[in-house]
Amino acid sequence: MEMVHQKCGFHNGIDIGTAGSKGGLSLGWKGNDLVSVRSYSNFHVDADIHDPKNRDTWRLTGFYGNPDERSRQGSWDLLRFLEHDCAVPWLVFGDFNEITSSLEKKGGRLRPEGQMEDFRSVLKNCSLHDIGFNGR
């Protein structure tokens, strides 16, 4: 990822390595004062983004939901934990490894309704809104 950061002109960044062959997170930025990393783990990078032009701060969280369905509740607990410390606008993006509805799925085995309901519940609890996805 360091080479990608350099090619994009990002002088600063944080890279979280993969757990086996899955996962990995990276966040890069150009200015020293633009980003303040709050916390990170194998499943998230949480940062405050400072907009000097408007003198505003907002929050950005890159998120990777646990690929193991049996451990997914830990991902939702992490989102709830992060939400408790949010007093500014918050954008969460990434791969949650879950869907909100069977209509989002094409092929493969069906998702249990309870599993999708747990995801919808954490989105609601954290006041997050799914903006959808197009493409691969």
pLDDT of residue 21: 64
Kindly report each contact of residues 30-38 with a partner whose C-beta sits within 8 Å and lies 24 or more positions away, as own/partner: 38/85
Q: Where are the domains of the chain?
A: 2-125
Q: Which two structure tokens, joined as six digits, stand for 108?
A: 């493969």
Mean pLDDT by 10 residues, the chain (136 residues): 84 80 81 88 93 90 92 96 88 93 83 93 94 75
pLDDT of residue 20: 65
Closest by CA to 117, choosing from 91, 96, 98, 132, is: 98
The superfamily (CATH) of domain 2-125 is Endonuclease/exonuclease/phosphatase (3.60.10.10)
Q: Which two structure tokens, joined as six digits, stand for 12?
A: 């600063």
Asked if residue 65 lies in contact with residue 43, where contact means CB atoms within 8 angstroms, the answer is yes
* CB crowding 19-49: b at 16 or more within 10 Å, else e: eeeebebbbbbeeeeebeeeebeebbbbbeb
pLDDT of residue 22: 66
Asked if residue 91 lies in contact with residue 58, where contact means CB atoms within 8 angstroms, the answer is yes
Contacts (Cβ under 8 Å, ≥6 apart) of 114: none
* pTM for this model (two decimals): 0.86
